[in-house]
Every structure is written in structure tokens, then in C-alpha cells.
Amino acid sequence: MELIRGLHNLRPRHHGCVATIGAFDGVHLGHQAVIRHLLDKSSELSLPSLIIVFEPLPREYFSPLQAPARIMSFWEKTRAMEAIGVDRLLRIRFNEQLRGMSAQRFVDDIFVAGLGVRYVVLGDDFRFGADRQGDIEFIQQQGLRYGYSAGSTPTFAIDGERVSSTRIREALENADFLEAEALLGRPYSISGRVIYGRQLGRKIGTPTANLELRRLRAPLSGVYMVEVSGGGLQNVPGVANVGVRPTVDDSIKANLEVHLLDREIDLYGKYIEVTFRHKVRDEKKFDSVEELQENIARDIEKTRAWCKQGSNSIETL
């Protein structure tokens, strides 16, 4: 998949495509329905498929600390779209200029002049442009003027309720990983490259792999039983902490650190995927590192007991 980093990188060869636009946070089953529509039209018209996304997400731009937590980072989103078969991803920087851009100018400058769209796919509830003026009816009217076609993708529902990123965030906040999996079409995971941390875990006898989340906030917080794959591992059980590490840090930025059960392997610089299976407890600030160490030991024993009871997908220790 080709990543186009900004409108200034559009070239004549990008002219002529089937396009859609959205946040696509989570690339859940509803998003996948839109993408399938996109890919079907791309195949029918023998044209490249292209998805437009904004970075940062508009709500992050307006109020970064109050914006909904991201289900996935931009790079996780990119990998998910590539796996589905999207040809191109156009990342547009959301700023004051884009904030004030009318739906009409967006169509004129981006869909028509920039991309030369032949077909536009939109979710039936999607809005774009200043004051959210643009919708599927507006896009179709403009298509009559400019000579492209457009179609909407119906709302995707499970159990009579729309599949949405908000619904998935609520499931993750409640540690309902079965519900999240049903909405996403896959188990919920966080992936990324392992980076060097403060080495505190190693000093207290529980070495951890630290992931850079590439987001200010995570959609879940606490201590979890997880499975780790990548870097030579496959579904290896572990204990993960997602949060701001209140006992040892005063940062507001979320971190993920995972301790593998009964294994020690050098994962620095490797790309791993951490799949969440069960919540052990909420994140808590302890009075000392010693108290933290005691609680980590209890977390590990609880996780080990859960593994023995539970999941057939977890590698036997």
C-alpha cells in the first residue's frame, strides 16, 4: 500500500481513483463494510482504491486531553488497511486551514483537482467540511456537476445496535473483550516496536517489554492477562500494565509494558502484538516500589492461575 503524506505529495499518477474518507479508528466491522464497498468499486472500475484520513483526528486537534482515546495508532491503522487490500492511503494534516475548509472547497480541491475521483464511497452517517456541511447527498449532487458517481454504505449493526468506535471504547473500558472482539472482527490488541524504558522492572526481578503507544491516551487502563506474538513469539502469556505508572512516574502519557511469564527474551527494537484477554485489576498508586513489587508478584500468580483455567489459545507453560 502506498502512503501519501499530505496533499503536496499528490502527483498526476494519483489522478483517477475510487475514494472514501473517515477516521477509521479501530478498522472495525462497520469500517470494513465501507472498505469492502470501496474495494468492490475499485475492482469494477479497474481503478486504485484510496482512503483519506486526518492526522491528528479533528477531536484531538480541538481538545487533545478530552478527545476520545484512540483504539489504534495511525501505524496500526495503516497496517490494518494494507492487510485488507487498500491501494493508497492519503494522510492529510488537520490544522486551522483544513478546519475552515468548506465541504464545497474540499470537493473542488481534494476530490476533483487533487484526486480526480471517479467514485466516492461514504458511510451513511459521515459528515465532512466546516460545520459538517458535507454528506452523501452533497457528494452525489457534486458528482452530477463533476462527472463522478457516489454511493453510501448502510450502517453495520450487531444485535440491532450500530457498530461504532464509541461502542468498542466502552467495551474496552469495561474489560469486555468478547464484546470488543465481536465488534472489531478480531481480538483487541495493541502493537508496536519495543523501546528502552527505565529498566525498573528488570531491577525488581520482573523485566518488561515497553511499547511506544503513539497516542496520548489508551482506551483501557489497568493490569491485564495478555498474549504476546511477534519477535519470534506466538501467543505467549504475559502480564501487561497499561497506564501512566503512578507509583514511579508523574507523566500523563499512557504506557504499555508487558512481562512474559517464565521467559526472558531480548525484544528491543522488535515489533510485537499484545492481545488482551482478561483484566486482573485497576491501575493503582502504591506507597513504595517494594509494595509495587509485591503486587506485581500477585498479578503474575493470578495470571498464571487464569491461564491454567482458561483459554485453549494460550501456549501451555
Q: Give residue 199's pLDDT.
A: 55
Is residue 128 within 8 A of residue 121, CB to CB? The reply is no
Can you give the pLDDT at residue 129? 87
- pLDDT for res 214: 83
Cα separation values, 78 from 26, 35, 286, Å: 11, 13, 38
* Average pLDDT along the chain, 317 residues, taken 10 residues at a time: 97 97 96 97 98 94 90 96 98 94 95 98 88 89 97 92 96 97 98 78 71 86 95 93 64 81 87 95 76 84 81 42
Fold of domain 188-309: Elongation Factor Tu (Ef-tu); domain 3 (2.40.30)
Assigned CATH for 2-159: 3.40.50.620
Cis peptide before 12 (omega within 30 of 0): no
Written as one letter, the residue type at 144 is L
Q: How far apart, in whole angstroms, are the C-alpha atoms of residue 286 and residue 293?
A: 10
CB atoms within 10 A of CB 23: 17
**Taking a C-beta distance cutoff of 8 angstroms, is the pair 254, 242 a contact?**
yes
Contact 260, 209 (CB under 8 A): yes
Write b or e for each residue in 178-207: b if 16 or more Cβ atoms lie within 10 A of its Cβ, otherwise e: ebbbbbbeeebbbbbbbeebeebbeeeebb
Residue with cell 495493541: 190
Domain positions in the chain:
2-159, 188-309
pLDDT of the residue at 251: 56
Give the cell for residue 69: 482515546
Look at residue 312 in the predicted model and tell me its pLDDT: 44
